[in-house]
Amino acid sequence: MGINAIRGFNDILPGEVEKWQFFEEAARNLFESFGFSEVRVPILEKTELFVRGIGEATDIVEKEMFTFPDRHGEMMTLRPEGTAPVVRAFIEHSMHAADQVTKLYYTGPMFRYERPQKGRYRQFYQIGAEIFGVENPIADAEVLSMLTELFRRTGIKGAELQINSLGCKECRPLYKELLLDFLKTIADKLCPDCQRRLNHNPLRVLDCKNDGCSDATKDAPSIIDNLCERCNSHFKEVKANLDTLGTVYSINHRMVRGLDYYQKTTFEIVCTALGSQNAVAAGGRYDGLVKDLGGPETPGLGFAIGLERAVSLIELTGKSLLKRPALFIATVGEQARKWALKAKYELNLKGIWAEIDYEGKSIKSQMRRADKLGARFAVVIGDSEISSGSAILKNMVEHSDKEINLSSLTEKVSI
Ligand code: ATP
Ligand code: MG
């Protein structure tokens, strides 16, 4: 019996991977032009990093981590997200000393033990970016605009930026109490999950997907109306700076992020085409996190894009990203095959994808393969072509033929 992949772990095959490469390259180019540098952090970290970084009472830490002891009994975790490892690396390598502002991005697999379904896997990929050292709301607007631009330039339609503020250590507890007072008055209308959440994490009730819960909390007090002076003016400035940059957003005061470290600005990019798992990217400001993990007091802000979800939206835009050979060299006879081997090799070294027949198949079968691969040009080479030095170049897209000199093959197919 064959061995299959583990549930929730996917293969990304040729035909699909081109979209990933397209999106990753667009992200890389964009982030680097905003001054972000790539950082590569390990996939495995000490469990404690995530428990302290993400917070004990979060869904991720409570029930979603792949955690196990190593051979010496030390607890290890496959990273469920990238921010905590990047913050760890920032502190460990004293990166704050190099410049007042540090801008980093990362990409790679994350692991969460969730129920696999469309848009939700146990191994999934994220591209994320983090900016350390700027408290000013200019950073929030810049990072959000950069993120929005990525979706624009990859042709993804219907990606909408939603923002919120979760307040700070001063105003959030006061708001929580206000919210709790309200929730108690409608507790009997909430789903069993929310009734449980009520006491330890009342904010999560606000983004429950259950229709009954969203109806019942329609008139809940809004955090935006209950921010302290500092958080309120920060939020106002974020909005003003987004307007300056021409970035369109909407305010979603019910957006509650699942990670404890967020303060002030939080945001999501949502897209209705995704169905029920509609967030394609998410993030926020985490001013206390660097200090909590043992580093110097440093403000921070970042986001992570879910690549499976982003890539599935590229499919919807119908972009054709499939790679195809520039030339297929079909051959008749041993001498022609040798010639083709060399011609192909030289084209490949010039960066042109040319294909040949390896096994001496019939011309019909070779041409069928050229067609299937989507080759833009094809040429048939036999003894007479080699001795005359000329051949018929078939344009497979326009269905036209042209006699060419074999010495000009490269130039003819490299358009
Ligand atoms: P969700 O509300 O969908 O559970 P989250 O709050 O857990 O999201 P984050 O931790 O902020 O998500 O991760 C950022 C992005 O990573 C999400 O918006 C989503 O696109 C993607 N993501 C998160 N979990 C998964 C998963 N299990 N499979 C695929 N993508 C995921
Ligand atoms: Mg989640």
- At 199, is the pLDDT very low, low, confident or very high (cuts 50, 70, 90)? confident
What's the CA angle centered on 161, arms 122 and 256, to 5 degrees?
60
Q: Where are the domains of the chain?
A: 17-168+234-317, 172-226, 327-413
Among all chains, which residue has been given the structure tokens 């979060």? 58
Q: What is the pLDDT of residue 317?
A: 66
Among all chains, which residue has been given the structure tokens 């307040």? 167
Read off the pLDDT of each residue in 23-44 and give the average, rounded to a whole number.
98
Q: What is the pLDDT of residue 415?
A: 62
Q: What is the pLDDT of residue 318?
A: 59
Q: What is the pLDDT of residue 237?
A: 98
Whole-number Å distance, alpha carbon 111 to ligand 2 midpoint, is 11
Among all chains, which residue has been given the structure tokens 């697999």? 109
Whole-number Å distance, alpha carbon 233 to ligand 1 midpoint, is 29
Residue nearest to atom 21 of ligand 1 (CA): 306
- At 207, is the pLDDT very low, low, confident or very high (cuts 50, 70, 90)? confident
pLDDT above 90 for 96: yes
Share above pLDDT 70 across residues of the chain, in percent, rounded to a whole number:
99
Q: Can 17-168+234-317 and 327-413 be said to share one CATH topology?
A: no
Q: What is the pLDDT of residue 377?
A: 97
Q: What ligand has the least distance to the C-alpha of 120?
A: 1
Whole-number Å distance, alpha carbon 46 to ligand 1 midpoint, is 22
- At 319, is the pLDDT very low, low, confident or very high (cuts 50, 70, 90)? low
Q: What is the pLDDT of residue 316?
A: 65
Q: Which residues of 195-204 are buried (b: 16+ CB within 10 A; e: fewer)?
A: eebbeebbbb
Q: Residue 162 in 3-state DSSP?
A: strand
Q: What ligand has the least distance to the C-alpha of 277?
A: 1
pLDDT above 70 for 346: yes
Q: What is the pLDDT of residue 57?
A: 78
- At 196, is the pLDDT very low, low, confident or very high (cuts 50, 70, 90)? confident
CB within 6 Å of ligand 1 — which residues? 81, 112, 114, 119-121, 124, 126, 258, 277, 279-282, 304, 306, 308-309
pLDDT above 80 for 258: no
Give the right CATH number for 327-413 from 3.40.50.280, 3.30.530.20, 3.40.50.800, 3.40.50.720: 3.40.50.800
Q: Could you give the residue ranges of the DSSP H alpha helices within 219-358?
A: 229-244, 289-292, 307-317, 334-349
Specify the ligand 1 atom closest to the Cα of 119: 29
- At 56, is the pLDDT very low, low, confident or very high (cuts 50, 70, 90)? confident
Residue nearest to atom 6 of ligand 1 (CA): 258
Whole-number Å distance, alpha carbon 1 to ligand 2 midpoint, is 34
What CATH homologous superfamily does 17-168+234-317 map to? Bira Bifunctional Protein; Domain 2 (3.30.930.10)
Read off the pLDDT of each residue in 2-9 and give the average, rounded to a whole number.
96
Specify the ligand 1 atom closest to the Cα of 122: 27
Whole-number Å distance, alpha carbon 411 to ligand 1 midpoint, is 47
- The token pair at 124 is 């999934």
Q: What ligand has the least distance to the C-alpha of 209?
A: 1
pLDDT above 90 for 320: no
pLDDT above 90 for 210: no
- Read off the pLDDT of residues 110-169 as tens digits, 9 standing for 90 and up: 999 999 999 999 999 999 999 999 999 999 999 999 999 999 999 999 999 999 999 999
Share above pLDDT 90 across residues of the chain, in percent, rounded to a whole number:
83
Query: Among residues 303, 266, 301, which one has the least CA distance to residue 281?
Result: 303
Give CA–CA dist 11/14, Å, rounded: 10
Give CA–CA dist 146/183, Å, rounded: 37
**Minimum mean pLDDT range among 122-126, 136-140, 176-180, 408-412:** 408-412
Q: What is the pLDDT of residue 337?
A: 95
pLDDT above 90 for 78: yes
Query: Among residues 308, 295, 20, which one has the least CA distance to residue 130?
Result: 295
Whole-number Å distance, alpha carbon 306 to ligand 1 midpoint, is 6
How many other CB atoms are found less than 10 A from the CB of residue 388? 10
